[in-house]
Amino acid sequence: MERHRCSVILEVEAKNKQMELMSSMCRLMFATAIILAAHQFSIYSSHPIGVCYGLNGDNLPPPSEVVGLYKSSGIEFLRLYEPRSDVLEALRGSGIAVALCPKNEDLAHIAQRPGAADAWVNTNIAPYMNDVLFRWIILGNEVIPGSLANYVPAAMANTRHSLAAIGLANVTITTVIPGNALESSFPPSAGAFSSDITDVMVSVAGILATSDAPLMINVYPYFAYASNPSQVPANYALFTATDPVVTDGSFLYFNLFDAMVDAFHAALEKIGYPDLKVGIAESGWPSAGNDPYTSIGNAMTYNRNLMNHVLQNGTPRRPGKLMETFLFAMFNENLKRGAVEQNFGFFYPNKDPVYPFW
């Protein structure tokens, strides 16, 4: 009888322990599910949109306030055109993904001497790498075509090696090229690189392809429209056309942005890289400086439609391929040349919005 009672007690204790274990496992599974859900939310709620932070102004707010404005506006990417220690200090702990460019005048040194690439990385990246989210390093801002073009492939290769040496092998290495890198661009399927830069572009594309990195391009429908309004309809430039404006074989173009991007896609196809990704390093519309083509209404319409477009659509040649995109620019910059160039900003230097957007 005593043995039976002990047996019952042991059985009850065993069941209690089993229930406690099951309860612990359920709590663990529940917590894990929450963590996974939060992780998935963080992935799918992020947007491949950034804003270029130009500093060509003598009345701009301090970098700490600018970083705060990026965060309060929900802007997740920031492009910086040269290493600025005050900006990099302000970016510590911000969580903003940063695209950083060496100065173009440093490109030859970085290309010709691996030690120069090491020095640049150790000066401008390594001191901040634990607190600043470096996502892109851009070697050459619109230097192809030009006298510095031939330095770009070696500068990219040397900088990649230098980043790997400090544990940042996953940072994207790329370059930015302008529209005049194309010898022809209309219709989009005729897109081709200028003959004098074809060899450089083959080398650049080969480097990008090895790490699945995008070629970054600057795309400005505004300039095409403002320079030739009789041939470029406003609705085609502003994403507001409801019918196709250009037909290129089986591809229908409702907006000039897609046509300009697809000209680059066609050019990459012609040099043997049909699958290379393209990203947008700059695109925007000025709010003043060249009436009637510049206006707050046009700037707001273009930038809003551009952002919605790149978040949801690819281009006719690359349907479904979303592009990492930087809008230009954060502020109106009073030291830039000409009234148009001074009025691309989303914000005035006092941080008031030029128009409601963010």
CA-nearest of 83, 193, 206 to 152 is 206
Beta bridge partners of 318: 315
Would residue 13 show up in a list of annotated catalytic residues for this protein? no
Catalytic residue among 89, 105, 142, 324: 142
Would residue 142 show up in a list of annotated catalytic residues for this protein? yes
Structure tokens at 63: 């970098």
DSSP states of 174-220 as a string?
A: EEEE-GGGEEE-SSGGG-EE-GGGHHHHHHHHHHHHHTTPPEEEE--
Sequence-ordered list of residues with C-beta below 8 angstroms from that of 96, at least 6 positions apart, any chain: 67, 70, 71, 75, 76, 77, 78, 133
Helices assigned H by DSSP within the chain: 2-45, 63-73, 85-91, 107-112, 114-124, 152-165, 198-210, 221-227, 234-237, 256-270, 296-312
Q: 196 and 145 in contact (C-beta within 8 Å)?
A: yes
Separation of alpha carbons 82 and 66, rounded Å = 16
Sequence-ordered list of residues with C-beta below 8 angstroms from that of 294, at least 6 positions apart, any chain: 222, 226, 285, 286, 287, 288, 340, 343
Structure tokens at 148: 């510095």
Catalytic residue among 282, 324, 333, 341: 282
- State the catalytic residues: 142, 282
